[in-house]
Amino acid sequence: MSTPIIDIKDITRDFQLGNETVHVLKGIDLKIEKGEYVALMGPSGSGKSTLMNILGCLDTPTSGSYILNGKQVSEMPDNELAEIRNKEIGFVFQTFNLMPRTTALDNVALPMVYAGYSKSERNERATEVLTQVGLADRMDHKPNQLSGGQRQRVAVGRALVNKPSIILADEPTGNLDSKTSVEIMKLFGEIHANGNTVILVTHEEDIADHAHRIIRLRDGVIEKDTKNENIISY
């Protein structure tokens, strides 16, 4: 039996608000296999953003075990978590999070700077990835010269550039119109077909229906974990 790429056991996350302890995650157990396409859903306050932050090594749990690609990350110090994030996880955010005065090429290459690659290696890989996401003719453009969909493609390219194990997308179509959203979701489908594990955080049912598995959170626990029988594909 294969080892899951994500193996979470009894994860809790508490936050202190004044004298009150808020229990946001209440003992989450979750396994995600390499190559899965998963949607993480839940209403506001369900704990999905907190779980996403833990999955992405942006936060650490109060208790429990998180093994990511064979490494126990639940108790790692911040510097080790930063290295894991850079190597293992590619992030795509709703607001793109691009550097405004920097070209598409340099935005995509940025994670490779932190990983210690040479400029020639960075440019070669960033060119390859921008071509993959359909922006070969926009490499020298800055974000304000690109449409919303093109900016999100740059963000997807940046997520892919270090060849991460997991693509973690937080509401990736939240700032896009419906036509552009379809194009971006088609791109995620291609990324998954190329072998990446994709985890999509969304509150939109039609976006979640691109995933092969849908995990629903409510009140800090997994309410439902089901195979998607209505997969949208192109």
Among 202, 123, 108, 117, smallest CA distance to 160 is for 108
Give the domain ranges of the chain: 35-52+78-227
Place of tokens 């690109």: 146
For domain 35-52+78-227, the question of CATH label 3.40.640.10 is answered with no
Extract long-range pairs of 68-71: CB within 8 Å, 24+ residues apart: 68/5, 68/6, 68/165, 69/5, 69/165, 70/3
Whole-prediction pTM value? 0.92
List per-residue pLDDT tens for the chain, 234 residues long. Answer: 578 999 999 999 999 999 999 999 999 999 999 999 999 999 988 999 999 999 999 999 999 999 999 999 988 888 899 989 988 999 998 888 999 999 999 999 999 998 889 999 999 999 999 999 999 999 999 999 999 999 999 999 999 999 999 999 999 998 899 999 999 999 999 999 999 999 999 989 999 999 999 999 999 999 999 999 889 876
Instruction: Name the token pair of 149.
Output: 């969909």
Q: Which uninterrupted H or E stretch holds 168?
A: strand 166-170
pLDDT at 115: 87
pLDDT of amino acid 94:
87
- Per 3-state DSSP, the chain is made up of helix, strand and coil in percentages (nearest 5) of 35, 30, 40
What was the pLDDT predicted at 119?
Answer: 95
The alpha carbon dihedral of 226, 57, 6, 29 has a sign of: negative
Instruction: State the pLDDT at residue 135.
Output: 96
Helix 119-132 crosses helix 104-114 at what angle (to 10 degrees)?
Answer: 130
